[in-house]
Structure 1
Amino acid sequence: MRTWRGATIHELTLHVLRGVLLLAAAGCTQLQVGHKSPLNPPIMNTDSAAVDIFFVRVPYGNPIVEKLWKSVDEQAIPAETRKELYRNGFRVGRIAGPLPPELADLLRLTDAPVTQDTLETIEDPGNADESAPVRRHLQTKPHQRAELLASSVYDELPLLRRDSNGQIVGQTVYRAQGVFAMTLAPKPDATVCIQLVPEVHYGEPRVQPVATEGLVRWEMRRDRIVLNDLTIKMDLAPGDMLLLTCVPDQPGSLGGRFFTAASSGKREQKLIAIRLSQVQNNPSFQGNTVATAPLR
């Protein structure tokens, strides 16, 4: 039998086949991906926090929404801010502890995989069943801006607001859309301060100067009205939720414009729930320890 350096051709062939099989096995081990449940947090970068954002639609005036708010802590918002938000048609609160059964029903929790978004703009894309909730997962760095598109685009929007004296002021803008600018800020106790600033973006996109960190860059964007006096700030621990919707008896209010829609000729009320799912367990989101929370 032919040999090469003392080994037979048959032995050499077996060694080669064994090596190929080992490499294939190693490759399979690296590519294996286990089943992902939406209740399990995904792997996150060491300098980011993770939030799950739920968009829900219900028939306008649905009593289940009012029942849900009995389990929501609206006192988590300072009284003066809460008054301004309510005056302009926004209702905001925090859910800590077990998930209220009404909200669990609205979210229709299943074992479908989580959709992960890498863009900084998050919206409800709509689908065939518009009553079905939509879930988005976002990992964001500290103080990095992300935009939540709350409403569809209005061809014409009478922007009416109540000022601190209760007087109605406003203007009409075109091609307008309700948006929340969201940022997360770390805190020493491993909680996160979430900030939402309501904005109205309008007109067609055009190149505009944007100042950031002492520099000016040019980017394509629409004009915007920033409603700083309606800024929402709330501290969340992993597992806590921030819930937003409109005040149902103020259909023409700013909150009503953000959180109502028409479907098949019927009015719908929208809710946005933002859940803190993961955060690095130190003040700057840095390090190896991660605080996570299963959905309860």
Structure 2
Amino acid sequence: MNWKAPALVVAMMAVAGCSFNRSDLGRDTFLARIGGSGQIIEPKRCNLRVAILSRPLRDEAINGALWSVVDEQSIAPDLRRDLEVNGLRMGLITGELPHEVDSILNAKGQHKVEPSRFEFPDGDHAMIDMVDTTPEVSLLLNREGRAFGKPYKDASGWFRVTANHEGSTGVALRFVPEIHHGPIQRAFTALPNATNYSPQQFMQKDGQQEESLRELATTLTLQPGQVAVVGCLPEASRSLGSFLFTHPEANSDRLLQQVLLIWASREGTNPPATSTPPSLMPVDPPKS
């Protein structure tokens, strides 16, 4: 978590001789009075709305209609090839979703899609769970131009999505695919902002081994009215994309295919400075 902005505000208030108490603070909001005027300074935050659509494998809506309007050229060619050989594809949509996809997103009843919402400080991340734990899986990975098979036990698939304010209106999303696998183990990790790493600055954490495929890290910058799209190439069986985005339908032998949609917005940008109004001089009322 980035505490630089709040720390700066507190320092400025101390120099100006100001004071505040807890009742003066909203959620992560600081009121600084500098030079006799008030200005609300709110730390930058990012909001994500995340929807995962699930359809039968090779469904036309999420393989044809959706990707026909996705701009995949927003990703550098070399990185785009690395994603493709691992069965992944990503890009941006500007404007409305295709009618076929919008119908899936707004379906009612048992097919209703419930988007998840994340809100966190600028520079923090969300973990998006793409696939439930699989007892055993063997993946064909392509890393640094070398293809090889790798088995995993008790494996689940995730995307670590880090969000940052970009420019005056954008939100940059950095996607890193991860595979969590193996038995639950206990470890000790340093607390955020730890300095001297004394015993009091470590916390106990139980979890699986986390394998981050950072060479496939992809950044998409969303402007208002855009949506990030992440999916797979359904023909790339045993690939990372197949593992993350396909799964068997419950009580059936039919495979389902998923696609990930993310909308992003921002808040907390400081308001523009306003000029100090001219001094007012008392005047006598006019004589009647």
* TM-score, length of structure 1 as denominator length: 0.69
Range that drifts further, 234-243 or 208-217: 208-217
1:177 and 1:201 in contact (8 A); partners too: yes
1:56 and 1:134 in contact (8 A); partners too: no
Q: How many residues align?
A: 221
Secondary structure, aligned partner of 2:238: coil
Secondary structure, aligned partner of 1:143: coil
Amino acid at match of 2:270: G
The answer to whether structure 1 residue 49 and structure 2 residue 46 are counterparts is: yes
Deviation at 1:271, TM superposition (A): 0.9
1:57 and 1:132 in contact (8 A); partners too: no
Amino acid at match of 1:207: R
Return 5+ residue gaps in structure 2 as ranges: 1-41, 273-288
Choose the corresponding residue for 1:209, options 172, 185, 188.
Answer: 188
Secondary structure, aligned partner of 1:134: coil
Secondary structure, aligned partner of 1:105: helix
The equivalent residue for 1:137 is 117
2:45 and 2:122 in contact (8 A); partners too: yes
The answer to whether structure 1 residue 75 and structure 2 residue 57 are counterparts is: no
CA distance in structure 1 between the partners assigned to 2:229 and 2:50 by the alignment: 10
Deviation at 1:275, TM superposition (A): 0.7
1:71-125 deviation per Cα after TM superposition (whole angstroms, max 9, x unaligned): 1101111111111011100111101122322321221168xxxxxxxxxxxxxxx
Matches within 5 A, 1:259-278: 259-263=245-249, 264-276=252-264, 278=265
Deviation at 1:213, TM superposition (A): 4.4
The equivalent residue for 2:83 is 85
CA distance in structure 2 between the partners assigned to 1:248 and 1:197 by the alignment: 20
* Percent identity of paired positions between Structure 1 and Structure 2: 23
The answer to whether structure 1 residue 247 and structure 2 residue 230 are counterparts is: no
The equivalent residue for 2:173 is 194
The answer to whether structure 1 residue 150 and structure 2 residue 150 are counterparts is: no
Amino acid at match of 1:55: I
Amino acid at match of 1:271: V
Superposed CA RMSD in Å reads: 2.1
Return 5+ residue gaps in structure 1 as ranges: 1-44, 111-127, 290-296
Deviation at 1:268, TM superposition (A): 0.5
Secondary structure, aligned partner of 2:182: strand
* TM-score, length of structure 2 as denominator length: 0.71
CA distance in structure 2 between the partners assigned to 1:256 and 1:139 by the alignment: 29
Choose the corresponding residue for 1:258, options 220, 244, 249.
Answer: 244
Deviation at 1:217, TM superposition (A): 3.6
